[in-house]
Copies of this chain bind each other. A is one copy, B any other.
C-alpha cells in the first residue's frame, strides 16, 4: 500500500471522526454533562490526578469516569474507590480513543445522573491529539520527570490542549526541569493555555486547578 493511499485513508478517518465528535458534543451540551478528555504520556499521573480531582468535586458534582486502555483494568479499580461511576474501555490495540468509541462509552455510562465525565485517554502524546472525542475541554498532563523539552517534540498535543497540568512538581529538585523554558515553548504553540503546576500525590496546586475546572463546568451548564 502506498504512503499516499495510507495518508488519504487517515484523512478520511479523521474527517469522519470530527463529524461524530461534533454530534457527541451537542448531545453532551443538551444533557448538561461536561466531558473532559484527559491526555498524557504513560506514567504522567493521570489516574492519581483523577482520584484527587474527583474527591474535590464530590459531592457538589456527580462524577463519571471512562478508563481507556489498550489492555488491563487496574486504573478502573483504583478510580472505583472514590465512589465515582466508572467504566473500563479497551481500545483493542488502538493508540487513542475516537469519537465513536467515546459515544459508545457514554451510552453505557448513561448521561442522566452525571454532571462531569472524565475520559482517561490512552497514555500517548501523539495519536490522541489528532482525534477529537467530542469533549467540552481537552486537558493535558506533563510530568516533571518527562522534561521541559516535550512541547518541541509533541507540538500538536500542546496546541490542541486547553489546560496544562505540570504534575509531580514535588520531584522538581531531583530533575533538571526548567519551568520558564517550558512556559516559553508552550506560549509559542498555545499562548492562552493556563499552565498549572501540581502534585497530584501531595495536593499542591489543586486549588487553582479545581477552580479552573469548576468555572468551566458552570460555563458549560449555562451555555444554551
The interface of chain A, by Cβ under 8 A from chain B, is: 1, 3, 6, 9, 12-13, 16, 41-43, 69-72, 74-75, 93-95, 100, 122-127, 130, 143, 145-147, 149-150, 152-156, 168, 171, 174-175
Q: Which residues of B contact A168 (CB under 8 A)?
A: 145
Closest to A9 in B: B9
- Within 8 Å CB of A9, what residues of B? 1, 6, 9
Residues of chain B with a CB closer than 8 A to A71's CB: 152-155
Chain B residues with Cβ below 8 Å from A94 are: 126
Select which of B74, B93, B100, B125 is within 8 A of A153 by beta carbon: B74
CB distance from A12 to the nearest CB of B (A): 6
| Contact call A150/B95, Cβ cutoff below 8 A | no
> In the complex the two chains form, is A155's CB within 8 Å of B42's CB?
no
Q: Could you say how many copies of this chain the assembly holds?
A: 2
Residue in B12, B13, B41, B122 whose CB lies within 8 Å of A42: B41
A51 nearest CB across to chain B (Å): 14
Contact of A127 among B41, B127, B152 (CB under 8 A): B127
Query: Which residues of the partner chain B approach A69 to less than 8 Å between Cβ atoms?
Result: 153
Q: Are B41 and A155 in contact (CB under 8 A)?
A: no
A168 nearest in chain B by CB position: B145
Q: Which residues of B contact A153 (CB under 8 A)?
A: 42, 69-72, 74-75, 123
Complexed CA–CA distance, A126 and B68 (Å): 13
Expressed in whole angstroms, the minimum distance between the Cβ of A97 and any Cβ of chain B is: 12
29 contacts between A and B (CB under 8 A): A1-B12, A1-B13, A41-B41, A41-B43, A41-B123, A41-B146, A42-B153, A43-B145, A43-B147, A70-B153, A70-B154, A70-B156, A72-B152, A72-B155, A74-B149, A74-B152, A74-B153, A93-B156, A95-B95, A95-B127, A123-B125, A123-B153, A123-B154, A124-B124, A124-B127, A126-B127, A143-B145, A145-B171, A171-B171
